[in-house]
Amino acid sequence: MNVIYIMWLRQLKKYFRSKSRIIGSLGQPLLFLLAFGFGFGAIFKKAGAGNYIQFLAPGIIIMSVLFTGIFSGIDLIWDRQFGFLKETMVAPVSRLQIMLGKTLGGATVAALQGVIVFVLTLIVGFRPHDLILLPVGAVVVFLVALLFTSLGIALASTMEDMQGFQLIMNFLVMPIFFLSGALFPLEGLPKVMDVIAALDPLSYGVDGLRFAFIGAQSVFGFGTDMLVLVVLTAVLLGLGSRLFERIQA
């Protein structure tokens, strides 16, 4: 348990020490909020769909969590290249504990990033539908953070090259984000898009957060959203632990 706490705390310290990283990671969510939120707001309203900022904000919050969580795998490759991981793994501690500590640390950082973006959305004009459901939204955000941090750690455990990891992540992250319904409603799509959205794990996070934050009717059902997120997170944690144990540091 001490190892898990130490690795978790190390991830948080790295995050708070890098103020440029915090500020830089806010650029993309802010750009999407301003460019899409105000750029397409009038069209969205004319279509009878209401305030686009209200619709868009949960998707942008989840986007920031996705990017921060999945790219936490870079820290693992960095530690592997510069020897810190080897020093940790030769210690008489369980590799599972090391992996869980790094995963929980990365997920906490991703969730904190989501909180910061949530504050940005409030400044832009977003207003939650019901404050009582904010803790429910926080649970959804943390599950998404844990899910994609686990995915990032699992993939990073199989790679040694940081540039290769970034290329693969970009290949995965952009389709996961754009096909999740973060930017557009999932209702009334062609059948092919319906199937793709249903296969996209991020869709359930976006759907669940919209239900919690703006009171929107859940496309998949909130219970289904939570079940899918919990099951996939458990599967990826298990897969990540197995792959991490095979690392030759």
Alpha-carbon distance of 160 to 181, in angstroms, equals: 33
Q: What is the pLDDT of residue 235?
A: 93
| Residue 58: Cβ within 10 Å count | 28
Is 219 inside any structural domain?
yes
What is the pLDDT at residue 77? 76
Mean pLDDT of the chain: 83
pLDDT at 88 over 70: no
Q: Is residue 83 part of a domain?
A: yes
Residue 165 has a pLDDT of 73
DSSP class of 219: S
Residues 117 and 120: their CA atoms lie apart, in Å, by 5
CB atoms within 10 A of CB 163: 9
Q: Give me the pLDDT at residue 33, please.
A: 86
Mean per-residue pLDDT, 148-175: 81
Residue 23 lies in a domain: no
Q: Is residue 19 part of a domain?
A: no
pLDDT at 42: 76
Provide the pLDDT for residue 93: 67
Q: What is the domain range of residue 66?
A: 2-8+29-245
Number of other residues whose CB lies within 10 A of the CB of residue 246? 9
Question: Is residue 180 domain-resident?
Answer: yes
**In whole angstroms, what is the distance from residue 230 CA to residue 224 CA?**
10
Cβ pair 206, 59 in contact under 8 A: yes
Whether 126 is in a domain gets the answer yes
| Of 8-12, 72-76, 137-141, the least confident | 8-12
Asked if residue 196 is part of any domain, the answer here is yes
Which range (85-89, 186-190, 233-237) has the least confidence? 85-89
pLDDT at position 136, please? Answer: 93
**Per-residue pLDDT at 62 exceeds 90:** yes
pLDDT mean over 84-112: 78
Q: Which of 145, 114, 136, 149 is nearest to 222 (CA)?
A: 136
Burial of 181 (0-12, 13-18, 19+ CB in 10 A): buried
Domain count, the chain: 1
> Is 85 part of a structural domain of the chain?
yes
User: What is the pTM for the complete model shown?
Assistant: 0.89
Separation of alpha carbons 55 and 43, rounded Å:
13
Indicate the range of 23-37, 85-99, 186-200 predicted with least confidence.
Answer: 85-99
Is the model more confident about 51 or about 147?
Answer: 147
